[in-house]
Amino acid sequence: MSLKFTLLATDGGARRGMVETAHGTFQTPAFMAVGTAATVKALTMDMVAATGTEVILGNTYHLMMRPGGDLVEKMGGLHKFSGWHGPILTDSGGFQVMSLSNLVKMREDGVEFTSHIDGGVKHFLRPEDSVHIQHQLDSNITMALDECLHLPAPRERVEKNVDMVARWARRSRDAFIDRSGYGIFGIVQGADFPDLRKKSAKQLTDIGFDGYAVGGLAVGEPQEVMFDMIAITTPLLPTDKPRYLMGVGTPLDILGAVERGIDMFDCVMPTRAGRTAQAFTRLGTLNMKNARFRDDASPIDDKCGCPACKLSRAYIHHLIKCNEILGATLLTQHNLWFYQDLMRDIRLSIETGCFAQFKQDFIAKYTGEE
Amino acid sequence: MSLKFTLLATDGGARRGMVETAHGTFQTPAFMAVGTAATVKALTMDMVAATGTEVILGNTYHLMMRPGGDLVEKMGGLHKFSGWHGPILTDSGGFQVMSLSNLVKMREDGVEFTSHIDGGVKHFLRPEDSVHIQHQLDSNITMALDECLHLPAPRERVEKNVDMVARWARRSRDAFIDRSGYGIFGIVQGADFPDLRKKSAKQLTDIGFDGYAVGGLAVGEPQEVMFDMIAITTPLLPTDKPRYLMGVGTPLDILGAVERGIDMFDCVMPTRAGRTAQAFTRLGTLNMKNARFRDDASPIDDKCGCPACKLSRAYIHHLIKCNEILGATLLTQHNLWFYQDLMRDIRLSIETGCFAQFKQDFIAKYTGEE
């Protein structure tokens, strides 16, 4: 294993670090833009890079369906195929198999499913298959295949889940081919049972990974439960490896998770919001469809340096009303820019030992409770 | 009137020139990207500029409907509103009134119509209204309101049309406010009747404009008829004013029209094609949906320097198959890049006295008859 993580500073539980990969370095806490099907929806890769994004996430489920691991490998891997030449993390496909496909059967060996994309052909995904596809994609960070439960779940079901996740993590780790600048992360499960979270963390750290994800959260539980599970898990993880909270989240989720020792995030929120007329600002979110923006000459957020914020809210509103593609493009880039500005501010505040103050100020403005 | 046109070189009938406006200069022969609703569909204005586009066209009909002339004026004009800071030409709205709206009545005074966009409200557009809206848009080149007939049309109808177009052109010219770096063009009509084309050209040059458009072509007639009408018209127009062939066309249309003395073009073809998976190349067009591109590692056109051509046909095909917005964006930019490469090559070939040879070589490759 040879993904290099350097912890540069800490401030309370918050950590400031960097991860070095074969395709360059990214600074942590990091927000990974979601590039589902080898594209961050509605943006060119140059536009993604301009936001300050340093690492993107590819979805193994979508890519194995279209265009397929073999094709991406033949085209020289995901970096060359998509034109994103920086670090790439891929998920295992497990989450989408369970949320998007028609799950046929979960077995000890792997998961059997069908998908609407290819007209209901039966697929079988074992931990070894997932790792193999991620090799084909040339992913810098491979995720071990896990099973993500819906919450709430009965304790007995979660106990079984945790043990199978550990066995699958072992098999994923064994299937992973060590290469310089590439690594594999294990995923801690355990739902909202503190003792099972602890058990899962122990099982995974015993195997040993380049980094650890906290999975199975942000699936409907209250924010406090999520924060509690993170706070229970991170102290059990090695300090010299990055920690990744999967699929999270809102700016406030991210601030709370950084405070509890998380280094990496991904979420469709900024990009999906950009395609549904929602704009993030330092004073909260705006629905750009709203008629009050029709003649508003001010930018979406006057603190933002993105291309959309060189234009007026009136123009963005006009594009949305006319269903112009550019509306989705400009808002997506703006939202990702906003997230990356937040991450930059978080990193600086940790470096300067001011994270708690920054968090308090940000939340006060963002929630309007200043 | 103060739009400065400089004729730099000629080669047979082909002309190489430049037009200076209050928002910068553009080189001719020029292809104007169509920016219907204050956006060149699927592209940011930076992406448009990167293609070599120097002037864009705004559609008065669309803009008067959404967001309205008053709003654009309040926002500081179309340049500031859209973020395109180079030259802008706007059409008069007449073409779309006749092709897109429910035309209620054509009168000497103007045209009455309803539109689906605002739920069937009755609008009345006189030549003076069209010029006023184009003033509100801060358009560098205003087009006089005309009436564009469908071809074929009976001679008696065309005779009436030509005379009314001349009266409307006079009224448009009178309503136009002279400003440094702004101008107004008249539009020659006359369908496919040579004598009526000549009459129309005479009527318009007697009024005197900053430039002259050849209108009412590329509306279904054979290419040879279009070329004949251009060849009849351009010798009757002053050499020291630019000539604009509206709504044209394919690369071969453009080559034939340049040969006959046309300086400016606009067409939705490259941008619309980009949203329907069509790619222009030096060897003809490609349908990127075609399964033969699934594993094609070569670029769309290996002579093209656009961002899409740094990626593979396989990637573009993948984006199209997945209905990803980026597919439309990359193909639109590629097609516009292709058109602007063609215009650059045309300009260079005129400067060097090699236009005829260039045209022959281009057509041989493009049509595969090499």
Q: Answer yes or no: is pLDDT of A370 > 90.
A: no
Using CB atoms, pick whichever of B76, B81, B314 lies closest to residue A75.
Answer: B314
Asked if B197 contacts B224 with a C-beta cutoff of 8 angstroms, the reply is no
Contacting residues of B for A51, CB less than 8 Å apart: none
H/E segment holding residue B277: none
- Quote the pLDDT of residue B151: 83
Query: Tokens in use for B24?
Result: 């910068």
- Which pair of tokens denotes residue A288? 């750009």
Model confidence, pTM: 0.97
Minimal-distance CA residue of chain B relative to A68: B318
- C-alpha to C-alpha distance for B215 and B191, rounded to whole angstroms: 8
The string of DSSP codes covering B174-188 is: HHPPP-TT-EEEEEE
B266-295, pLDDT tens digit by residue? 999 999 999 999 999 999 999 999 999 999
Q: Is the separation of the CB atoms in B115 and B64 below 8 Å?
A: no
Residue A148: predicted pLDDT: 86
Determine how β-strand B264-266 pairs with β-strand A88-90: unpaired
B76: chain A residues, CB-CB within 8 Å: 297
Nearest by CB to residue B66, choosing from A82, A297, A322, is A322
Residue of chain A nearest B117, judged by CA positions: A322
* Contact (CB<8Å) A38/B83: no
**Range with the lowest mean pLDDT among A56-60, A190-194, A266-270, B216-220?**
B216-220
What residues contact residue B192 under an 8 Å CB cut-off, 6+ apart? B151, B152, B221, B225, B228, B229
- Phi, psi (deg, nearest 5) at residue A198: -65, -45
Q: How far apart are CA A142 and CA A135, in angstroms?
A: 8
Active site residue A91: yes
Amino acid letter for position A204: L
B-chain residues within 8 Å CB-CB of A47? 44
The answer to whether B276 contacts chain A (CB < 8 Å) is: no
Taking a C-beta distance cutoff of 8 angstroms, is the pair A288, A317 a contact? yes
Q: Which of B293, B300, B326, B337 should one mutate to test binding to chain A, selecting the residue with the greatest count of A CBs within 10 A?
A: B326
Q: How confident is the model at residue B117 (pLDDT cuts 50, 70, 90)?
A: confident
Write the pLDDT tens digit of every residue in A237-259: 999 999 999 999 999 999 999 99
**pLDDT tens across A104-158, in order?**
788 999 999 998 788 888 999 999 999 999 999 999 999 999 998 888 899 999 9
Residue A95 burial (CB < 10 Å; 0-12/13-18/19+)?
A: buried
Answer whether B312 touches A (CB < 8 Å): yes
Q: Is the pLDDT of residue B370 over 70?
A: no
DSSP letter for A220, please. S
* Chain B residues lying within 8 Å of A85, measured CB to CB: none
Tell if the CB–CB gap between A39 and B326 is shorter than 8 Å: yes
Whether the CB-CB separation of B345 and B263 falls below 8 Å is answered with no
- Measured between CA atoms, the residue of chain A closest to residue B297 is A75
Q: Dihedrals φ, ψ of A197, to 5°? A: -60, -45
Contacts of A319 in chain B (CB under 8 A): 37-39
Q: Quick check: A369 pLDDT over 80?
A: no
Name the H helices within A194-312. Answer: 194-207, 223-233, 251-259, 269-274
Percentage of chain A beyond pLDDT 90 is: 91
B310: alpha, beta or left? (left if phi > 0; alpha if psi -120 to 50):
alpha
Q: Taking all residues of chain B, what is their mean pLDDT, rounded to a whole number?
A: 96
Domains of chain B (ranges plus CATH)? Answer: 4-267 (3.20.20.105), 276-366 (no CATH)
Q: What is the mean pLDDT of residues A78-97?
A: 96
